[in-house]
Structure 1
Amino acid sequence: MNTIREFIEYAGWPRIIIGLFLISLFIIAPFVGVRFDVSVSDTLVRFGMNGVMVLAMVPMVVSGCGLNFGLPLGIIAGLLGAVTSIEMGVNGIPGVLTAMAVAVPIAVVLGWAYGLLLNRAKGSEMMIATYVGFSSVAFMCIMWLILPFRSANMVWGYAGKGLRTTISVEGYWHQAISDIGSFRIGEFFYVPTGMFLFFALLCVFMWYFMRTKTGTAMATVGSNPEFARASGVNIDKMRTFSVVLSTVLGAIGIIVYEQSFGFIQLYMGPFYMAFPAVSAVLIGGASVHKATIVNVIVGTILFQGILTMTPSVINSMIQTDMSEVIRIIVSNGMILYALTRVLKVKL
């Protein structure tokens, strides 16, 4: 009995209820004509695709900068790396590495400037971050049209310039990471081992980093800034470093997402990507002041599992193709729930 009570206190009723709901969807699925193996495989793939972008929430939360609604800034850096890699015609793993090599320095510069801005707006970080995220996407809608990319696989054919809204990575580095060590069980169950290993590697890096001197100083800044200042820690420097790290992880995360998804989505594509990542880490048990790798893993599984399973099961039950409508309703519902937790904590 004590073990059950301790588990409930540790996990929290919201995560237990969401988890039970997800399990019930998996149980119901075969009875309404949805293949169980396909459902599990899709959930695993979506978990791997989104895990790194959810992990990008951790540094800023730990340092006291709040939830990173400015994640589109890192995503834009990743998109610039991705289109540059295709412009250069690099394929496979070298293509992914090229995209990351271009994206990371851009993310460092953008993250540094973003961090300086947040340091001037202490106490209003999430509002400023949201503005930065939205305005950067709007600005890039112009830049995607005028940047000097010329690859026939990316530009509008009738104009000869300006990047398309959606660019395929097929033939370049589609599933380059996912297929490393991947395997299939039967016809439909696919396990993207490489993507899981890459995500696990970044989780280990984050776990180790948070136990270094710099990571400990960053956590102290977030939990007790007065003590950190008295200990000689440069608070603004630590906050800026956390923002840079979060932006770099966002840039890497979108490249991992794209190589699995198969397409680069420009213009308004990054606009809504911060909200699912924020919601996932909150559903996983994080708060505006604390986030762990466990929160990232649990939250991503729950969020992506519900988002994957609900449309499939409901569609099969009502015999109507409303998957996109249901997906939007479920996604926005979970985002709304997660954000109400933030408001509750702040109040």
Structure 2
Amino acid sequence: MKSNRFQKGLMSVAVPALFLIISALAIKPSGLPVEYIAEQVMIRMVRNSFLVLALLLPIMAGMGINFALSLGAMAGQIGLITVQGLGMKGPEALFAAILISVPVALLLGIFAGQVLNRAKGREMITSMMLAFLINGVYQFVILYIFGSSILPFNANRSIILSKGVGVRNTLELTSSQAFDKLGDSFLTNLLGSPLYIGNFKIPFFTILLIVLLCLFTLWITRTKLGQDMRAVGQDMEVAANSGINVDRTRLWAISISTILAGIGQIIYLQNLGTMNTYTGHESSALYSAASLLIGGASVASAGILNAILGTGLFHTLFVLMPPAATTLTGNSMIGEYSRMVISYGIVALALVMHARRKIREKELDRQAFRGQGTPVAPKKAEG
């Protein structure tokens, strides 16, 4: 039994160990200083961790990886475009964008949850198709509603295309790094200056939001809703027989995930400073899923540690591979294409390894059962 537990534990760390080794091997051919690598990884971790953490609740509820995460990302971008069109700036604009994104994300989450409840066992592919469907609606709204008489955005027409309707392809956000500046201002008033690790200035407020999301995730797992999600994730039939409303529980999980994704996309874009209006949301689910899977998570089990560790490993590889591939092949285009190969390849490899791990775990369980033998009923005492 101890040997079986050890093998199961070894299989659970196989994915992060593999990518840790690949990252270590890529440092030298990349030619990048270690200090630069560390700084870039920290920036990307702060920028992306919120989105990755938004994936946890649907996995807990047995719905697998939520590839409809981009629905929430679209809601976040709608919030940002709206506040920019209204001429708002600074942290107030970001908080207003969050307030706008929440009801939009909630509606999209409820819609997604209703659809996924009718596609039990096929949630991941269905959520991926949902993302394509809602993307069409999003494109229509951005191209033909924003800037029209319905939403004229008279306070800031500079974001509108020259034809008078539709939003420009790329927006320079007026609220760029406003959360970071808010944290710097707070620390300056409290300590006299922002906090630094070497040359890296700590984005205090963004990190605070990530910590609050981690605490929220831990809290919700201890509530009645969280316990219901775990029960549904383990066995829907048993959960239903126990009196749990399975469909409603799954609906809560996907709705909360979508709302968190909208907030995460706002955090990501304000840190980046620019927004690709029509394509900025498309990679959110893919990169978040890749990050989570690298951290040792699976389509059936994931935790906060998997999300944070995986985000660090994924973006370490994301920073190192393009220059390393360029050095090894002498072709800069191959270096750039390696980013997409990494992201899609990681998801595919992790899913394959997860399937092999499940098969191996079943074999170990059968071996353990055979090793125990068939229990024999004790004989009745004579006399």
Compute the TM-score of the two structures, normalised by the length of structure 1. 0.88
Match of 1:42 in 2: 40
SS of corresponding position for 1:153: helix
- Deviation string 1:4-38 (CA, Å, 9 cap, x unpaired) is x7996385222112113324444x27xx6422222
1:333 aligned residue: 345
| Equivalent position amino acid for 1:328 in 2 | M
The residue aligned with 2:63 is 65
Count how many residue pairs are aligned between Structure 1 and Structure 2.
337
- C-alpha deviations, 1:240-293, integer Å up to 9, x for none? 000101101111111011011111222233223211111211221222221111
What residue in structure 1 maps to residue 320 of structure 2? 309
Where 1:167 maps in the other structure, the secondary structure is: strand
* % identical equivalent positions: 30
Task: Provide the residue aligned with 1:147 in structure 2.
Answer: 145
Partner of 1:207: 218
User: In structure 2, what is the Cα distance between the partners aligned to 1:343 and 1:154?
Assistant: 47
Query: Following the alignment from structure 1 to structure 2, what is the Cα–Cα distance between the partners of residues 315 and 36?
Result: 18
Q: How many Å separate the matches in 1 of 2:11 and 2:342?
A: 26
Q: How does 1:1-347 map to 2 (within 5 A)?
A: 9=10, 12-26=13-27, 28=28, 33-149=31-147, 150=153, 151-156=156-161, 158-169=162-173, 172-179=174-181, 180-181=183-184, 183-185=195-197, 188-315=199-326, 321-322=332-333, 323-341=335-353, 344=356
Structure 1 Cα separation of the partners of residues 337 and 122 of structure 2: 34
Amino acid at match of 1:21: I
Higher Rg = 2
Q: Is the 8 A contact 2:110 2:255 kept in 1?
A: yes
3-state SS of 2:164 partner: coil
Q: Is the 8 A contact 1:286 1:295 kept in 2?
A: yes
Q: Distance in 1 between matches of 2:99 and 2:296?
A: 33
The answer as to whether partners of 1:82 and 1:264 remain within 8 angstroms in 2 is: no
Cα distance in 1, alignment partners of residues 223 and 320 from structure 2? 39
On the 8 A contact 2:77/2:266 being kept in 1, the answer is yes
List structure 1 segments (4+ residues) > 6 angstroms apart after TM superposition: 5-8
Partner amino acid for 2:57?
P
Alpha-carbon distance between aligned partners in 1 of 2:120 and 2:207, rounded to the nearest angstrom: 36
For residues 342 and 263 of structure 1, what CA distance do their matches in structure 2 show? 36
SS in 2 for 1:270: coil
CA distance in 2, matches of 1:258, 1:198: 15
TM-score normalised to structure 2 length: 0.81
Post-superposition shift, 1:73?
A: 1.0
5+ residue gaps, structure 1, are none
Opposite residue 54 of structure 1, the aligned amino acid is: V
CA positional deviation for 1:339: 3.6
Rounded to whole Å, the distance in 1 between the matches of 2:205 and 2:24 is: 26
Q: C-alpha distance in 2, partners of 1:298/1:230?
A: 37
- Code of the residue aligned with 1:167 in structure 2: it is L
My pick for the range that moved more, 42-51 or 240-249, is 42-51
Distance between the aligned counterparts of 1:326 and 1:113, measured in 2?
35
Which region of structure 1 is more displaced relative to structure 2, 226-235 or 214-223? 226-235
- The answer for unaligned runs of 5 or more in structure 2 is 148-152, 185-193, 360-383
Give the CA deviation at 1:129.
0.6
Alpha carbons 1:137, 1:270 under 8 Å: kept:
no
